[in-house]
Amino acid sequence: MNKYILGLSIVLNGILLIVLFGLVPFLLYLSTLINIFFVWFIIKNLNEMDDIREDLLYNLESIESFSDHLDQLHEMEAFYGDQTLQDLIGHSRRVINDIVDLQEKYYDVETGIETYDNDNEETEEEETTEAQE
């Protein structure tokens, strides 16, 4: 209800400005309204981008935790050397690297990328996005 009253007030004030003062004050009024709308729109989009970034980081942490759990399971005596678990571990690492690539693409952040050699030993490499390019 308040939105309708506010909208009606804006329209009636615009009409009143045209009738009393002419076209130039109305255009100034209209420009002010458009600028206020764009500021609101930009703030809304920035807040949504922050939410998306937080969700992406949460998903990355969740998948890293899953990958660590798979590593621990694979190291148990009962499952050591199982090819299915080894393939699952490789797949989880590829998913983690894909998410890190998305994070680097859309956010100007410094991330640690985990790379694995054939013996499944972890090595850490620090890379910065766009700063070194």
- Res 70 pLDDT > 70: yes
CA distance 133 to 116: 24
Question: What is the pLDDT at residue 30?
Answer: 93
Question: What is the pLDDT at residue 117?
Answer: 46
Question: What is the pLDDT at residue 32?
Answer: 94
Q: Where are the domains of the chain?
A: 2-128
- What is the per-residue pLDDT across 94-112, written as a single tens digit (0 to 9) for each? 888 888 887 787 776 665 5
30-to-24, 76, 97, 113, 122 alpha-carbon distances in Å: 10, 70, 49, 50, 60
- Res 122 pLDDT > 80: no
- What is the per-residue pLDDT across 24-69, written as a single tens digit (0 to 9) for each? 999 999 999 999 999 999 999 999 988 888 888 888 888 888 888 8
